Amino acid sequence: MPASEQRVWGIHGGRTGDADTLFLTRNRIAIGWSKVDDLSKLPEDREAFRKAVADAYPDKKPGSIPNNAGQLFRFAHQMQVGDLIVYPSQRDRLVHIGRVEGPYQYDATSEPGYPHQRAVTWLRAVPRTAFSQGALYEIGSAMSLFRVQNHVDEFVKGAAGQATAPSVVEDESVAPVAEEIEETTRDFVIKTLARELKGHPLAEFVAHLLNAMGYRTRVSPEGPDGGIDILAHRDELGFEPPIVKVQVKSGEGTVGDPIVSALYGKVTAAEFGLLITLGSFSSQARSFARAKSNLRLIDGPELVDLILQHYENFDSRYKGLLPLKRVYVPQPLEEDESG
Contact 276, 202 (CB under 8 A): no
- Residue 338, class by beta-carbon neighbours within 10 Å (0-12 exposed, 13-18 middle, 19+ buried)? exposed
**Alpha helix segments (H runs only) across the chain:** 20-25, 46-56, 65-73, 133-138, 152-159, 174-196, 200-212, 257-264, 283-290, 300-310, 316-321
- Residue 179, class by beta-carbon neighbours within 10 Å (0-12 exposed, 13-18 middle, 19+ buried)? exposed
Going along the chain from its start, the domains and CATH numbers come out as 3-172 (3.10.590), 194-321 (3.40.1350.10)
Is residue 93 classed as helix, strand or coil in its secondary structure? coil
For the ranges 46-60, 100-114, 172-186, 248-262, the lowest mean pLDDT is seen at 172-186
Distance CA 332, CA 171 (A): 8
pLDDT tens profile 112-138: 889 999 999 999 999 887 888 788 888
Mean pLDDT over residues 251-273, rounded?
92
CB-based contacts of 17, cutoff 8 Å, min separation 6? 89, 90, 91
pLDDT of residue 1: 58
- pLDDT for 47 beyond 70: yes
Q: How far is CA 300 from CA 128, 190, 290, in A?
A: 36, 7, 18
- pLDDT for 24 beyond 80: yes
Contact 190, 197 (CB under 8 A): no
Contact 171, 133 (CB under 8 A): yes
pLDDT of residue 2: 59
Three-class DSSP labels, 155-196? HHHHHCCCCCCCCCCCCCCHHHHHHHHHHHHHHHHHHHHHHH
pLDDT tens profile 51-102: 999 999 998 888 889 999 999 999 999 999 999 999 998 888 899 999 999 9
Q: Give the pLDDT band of residue 111 (cuts 50, 70, 90).
A: confident
pLDDT tens profile 153-182: 999 999 998 876 665 545 556 566 666 677
| 292 residue type, one letter | K
